[in-house]
């Protein structure tokens, strides 16, 4: 049967939403299976219908959906997919969300604001999810929002191995674009054996996606600076960070990020910047009109497939990153 990998009495079934089926196909190929046939469509008023075309009773279900634009539609579709599996007696349901929607709303910065990341976790739990699998959360504390196991995967080995293959690491300085990325940047320095620099930035509280001041702390003069971030959204922050590094004498700047949202003016900003290369993974689809010469997209599918296989076989997801932390 398609979409099934069996081990003894257990069977693994992979389910794909419509947000990014190409990634699900790639993960399925790595696992040696096919996504389970499903019927998904929208009613005339925009409501979503889901029905699985094979029995899912007793299966170990993995529901893969990228929270890409239109993000609310694909989140809702994944919730409905989980509900359908629960009502069809799936034994265990793992939500695979390479990009966890609303992750940047993980705390109240000011009064009368929501904590939307917590709401997301509650919605998936209520829908019937037993487990979450995510890649490079905006903040690690979000793992505590979900009442169940959370497999927090890291794209660092994929990105760092690529950088290591392309650059002379003795000339590299790893750059954290803000204080929140310092711990991740330290893992990069451990892996590459490179020094660390930090960019201190102050945001304008009244303007979304707007940074006012950048200050570079660390030795960057004459060096190749590798900026490491979790996502590139509009590209404004990373381009300004690169400009600040060049002002301090950096010889070259490479930008890396797990998630390439590439919203609004991002492509034009990155294309016209002094950044030599932008390296991201395919946790989100990259439209053809968003691709440009400086952009390199690495596949996250093998990592997702390995993690899914570890969960299915009751192995250790942590073992995938032993020596990388």
Whether residue 33 is found in the same domain as residue 83: yes
Q: Does residue 323 belong to any structural domain of this protein? A: no
Same domain, 135 and 267: no
Q: What is the pLDDT of residue 128?
A: 98
Residues 6+ apart with CB under 8 A from 32: 5
Domain membership of residue 324 (yes or no) is no
**123 shares its domain with 221:** no
Residue 205 lies in a domain: yes
Domain that holds residue 63: 4-154+302-317
The model's pLDDT over 58-105, given as tens digits with 9 standing for 90+, comes to 999 999 999 999 999 999 999 999 999 999 999 999 999 999 999 999
With a cut of 60, say whether residue 222 has pLDDT above it.
yes
What CATH code is carried by the domain that includes residue 52? Answer: 3.40.50.2020
Residue 38 sits in the same domain as residue 131:
yes
pLDDT band at 325 (very low <50, low <70, confident <90, very high): very low
Among the residue ranges 42-46, 210-214, 268-272, the one predicted with the least confidence is 210-214
**Residue 322 belongs to some domain of the structure:** no
Catalytic residue among 201, 252, 271, 294: 201
Q: How many domains does the chain have?
A: 2
Instruction: Determine whether 201 is an active site residue.
Output: yes
pLDDT digits (tens, 9 = 90+) for 278-303: 999 999 999 999 999 999 999 999 99
- Write out pLDDT tens, residues 9-62: 789 999 999 999 999 999 999 999 999 999 999 999 999 999 999 999 999 999
């Amino acid at each position: 049967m398609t979409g099934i990998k069996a081990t003894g009495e257990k069977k693994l079934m992979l389910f794909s939403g419509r947000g990014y089926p190409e990634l699900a196909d790639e993960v399925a190929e790595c696992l040696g299976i096919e996504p389970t046939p499903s019927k998904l469509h929208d009613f005339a008023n925009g409501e979503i219908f889901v029905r699985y075309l094979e029995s899912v009773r007793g299966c170990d279900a993995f529901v893969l959906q990228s929270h890409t634009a239109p993000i609310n539609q694909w989140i809702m579709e994944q919730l409905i997919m989980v509900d359908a599996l629960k009502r069809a007696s799936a034994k265990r349901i793992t939500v695979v969300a390479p990009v966890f929607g609303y992750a940047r709303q993980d705390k109240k910065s000011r009064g009368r604001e929501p904590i939307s990341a917590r709401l997301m976790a509650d919605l998936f739990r209520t829908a019937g999810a037993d487990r979450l699998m995510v890649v490079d959360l905006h903040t690690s504390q979000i793992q505590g929002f979900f009442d169940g196991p959370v497999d927090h995967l890291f794209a660092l080995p994929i990105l760092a191995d690529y950088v290591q293959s392309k650059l002379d690491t003795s000339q590299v300085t790893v750059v954290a674009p803000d204080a929140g990325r310092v711990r991740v940047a330290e893992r990069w320095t451990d892996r590459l054996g490179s020094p660390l620099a930090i960019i201190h930035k102050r945001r304008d509280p009244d303007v979304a996606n707007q940074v006012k001041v950048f200050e570079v702390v660390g030795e960057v003069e004459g060096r190749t600076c590798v900026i490491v971030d979790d996502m590139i959204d509009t590209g404004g922050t990373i381009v300004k960070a690169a400009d600040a590094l060049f002002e301090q004498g950096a010889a070259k700047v490479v930008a890396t990020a797990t998630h390439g949202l590439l919203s609004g003016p991002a492509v034009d900003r990155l294309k016209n910047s002094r950044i030599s290369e932008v390296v991201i993974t395919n946790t989100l689809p990259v439209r053809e009109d968003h691709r440009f010469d400086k952009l390199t997209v690495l596949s996250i599918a093998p990592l997702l497939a390995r993690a899914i296989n570890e969960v299915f076989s009751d192995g250790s997801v942590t073992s995938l990153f032993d020596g990388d932390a």
